[in-house]
Amino acid sequence: MADFKKTDSYDQDIKNENYLPEADDYDQGLGVVLPQSLVNLSEEELAAINKRVTRKIDWLIMPAMVILYILNYLDRQNIASARLAGLTEDLNLTVVQYQTCISVLFAGYIAFQVPSNMIVAKIKYPALYICIACALWGIVSAGTGLVQNYSHLVVCRCILGIVEAVFFPGAIYFLSCWYTRGQFAFRCAVLYSGSQIGNAFGGLLAIAILKMDGLAGLEGWRWLFILEGLVTVVLGLACILVLPNTPATAKRLSQVERDALIYRLEAEKGAKDNSDQIGVGRALWMAIVDVKTWLMCGILFFTYVAAAVTNFFPSVVGTLGYSRNITYCLTAPPYLICVVCIMLNGMHSDKTGDRYWHVVLPLGVTMIANVIAVSTLSTAGRYVAMCLMPASFYSSAIVTLSWISGSASGSAVKRACVLSLINALCNTPNIWTSYLYKNAPRYLVAFSVNLAASVVAICFATAALFYLKKENAKIERGDDLGSSGPTPQQIAGGFKYPL
């Protein structure tokens, strides 16, 4: 029987998607027992089942989640395309009123993330909850195409933010219920690619839809909201038929495959999840008093300050001086480059088990991009900066999210609270950064703030690295880490904070 407190290969094994502990490793009072259906299988058979399970859940979950995230971003960001198509002129919006319409969405988005994720962590049908929310925000988005004035637009954007608050923190938590820490960064990158695909093709889709300008007496930007909203409703409801809710109820997996998946997830934590025994209030308090929560929050917060440029990306690219359609086309390549970069960064982070350098090095590129943006107004220089920005700060963000999930020791409901609390706080820059993007075409204040934010994010990542190293040293010495640390079962299972 392996002693996981002393096994040197544990850290490497846990990175491997085929990781599955030996039959007796968790029978000694640690709360996880090898299911009877797996007892008589050889190690080769267990490994084959484990690999098959990973492949199946990838195909069951990831395509649908990516589609939902594409829709999430299209319906949130299409106001930027609508602005170039005459939204502000038709509704007589001032610059400040348009900026308010951007920021008010995030007021509802931020306020409802934590309570929504508390619900996700407690209900039996999290996938159903997420899909219904998708259909609802599609309805709101379609309704935005019927607004007649500034007040109507503000109300629609606020409601859209409330309903969309369900998705991203809920999706990150949902994925953490299906994948181990060693698999998470790449799957997070795959999920995040949905937002970048939405950004990349949102402008190109807008070109096609805006040709409907005047049809049925409606402006093209109205059709943009209406059609994209209706597509969201249809696909959101269709995903209900595809997405499984929990590993225990995944009908497309055999009983043996379900047992292997559940055992793998529980064995990594070192114990069965005790979320049913922990109230959401206590779980939230445990998340708040955990130092790791605030160190990780600092990294993501300042990364998202720099990333807020995406809310104005078509407008910033528009300062290059091209026509509206060319500007839409020019917004696509930076996000396509971003998809490739976040995939590679997430995959390499999972393969090496490293989090810190995969967070810090991309942020260094973000710094360089903002230096270029501040220093020049040349078309080539500005466009290079635009290409570097999303690829760098989103590559960093997806590994940070994986680092957060891997460091959130304790119950699943606490992990849900940590993820939603951090994501809620880290989206607050979207409220105030929108007011920085003025004085075009230079946007000197905005790009200067982005540069400073990148530096501060690196400082927080470095502080988190040293703190987690210190915590791992305490685990090795057998010191008490208190309620914010891993449980005794997790420690006995060889738990270490990812670095």
Is the pLDDT score of 61 beyond 90?
A: yes
The three-state secondary structure class of 496 is: coil
**pTM for the structure as a whole:** 0.77
pLDDT higher at 5 or 273: 273
How many secondary structure helices (H) and strands (E) does the chain include? 23, 0
Give the lowest-confidence range in 12-26, 159-173, 277-291, 304-318: 12-26
Give the lowest-confidence range in 126-130, 213-217, 222-226, 461-465: 213-217
The correct CATH number of 13-24+33-492 out of 3.90.110.10, 3.40.50.12780, 1.20.1250.20, 3.20.20.10 is 1.20.1250.20
User: How much is the average pLDDT of 209-225?
Assistant: 86
Write the CB contacts of 326 (distance below 8 Å, at least 6 apart in sequence): none
Q: What is the DSSP letter of 62?
A: H
CA-to-CA distance for 261 and 249, rounded, in angstroms?
Answer: 11
- HSE-up of residue 103 (Cα within 13 Å, Cβ side): 15
Helix axes 356-375, 332-352, angle to 10 degrees: 160
Is the pLDDT score of 8 beyond 90?
A: no
CA-to-CA distance for 416 and 493, rounded, in angstroms?
Answer: 22
The pLDDT score that the predictor gives to residue 128 is 95
pLDDT higher at 315 or 153: 153
% of the chain beyond a pLDDT of 90: 29
% of the chain beyond a pLDDT of 70: 86
Burial class for 55, CB neighbours closer than 10 Å (0-12, 13-18, 19+): exposed
The pLDDT score that the predictor gives to residue 382 is 77
Is the pLDDT score of 143 beyond 90?
A: yes
User: How much is the average pLDDT of 213-239?
Assistant: 91
Give the lowest-confidence range in 2-11, 136-145, 236-245: 2-11
pLDDT higher at 362 or 111: 362
pLDDT higher at 86 or 488: 86
The pLDDT score that the predictor gives to residue 319 is 63
Helix axes 291-307, 356-375, angle to 10 degrees: 30
Is the pLDDT score of 318 beyond 90?
A: no
Burial class for 131, CB neighbours closer than 10 Å (0-12, 13-18, 19+): buried
User: How much is the average pLDDT of 328-341?
Assistant: 82
How far, CA to CA in Å, does 469 sit from each of 223, 247, 293, 298, 385?
53, 33, 15, 18, 35
pLDDT per position as a tens digit, 281-296: 787 888 888 899 999 9
pLDDT per position as a tens digit, 110-120: 888 888 888 88
Is the pLDDT score of 180 beyond 50?
A: yes
Would you list the domain boundaries of the chain?
Answer: 13-24+33-492
Burial class for 43, CB neighbours closer than 10 Å (0-12, 13-18, 19+): exposed
The pLDDT score that the predictor gives to residue 302 is 95
User: How much is the average pLDDT of 318-328?
Assistant: 68
pLDDT per position as a tens digit, 412-448: 777 788 888 898 888 888 778 777 777 767 778 888 8
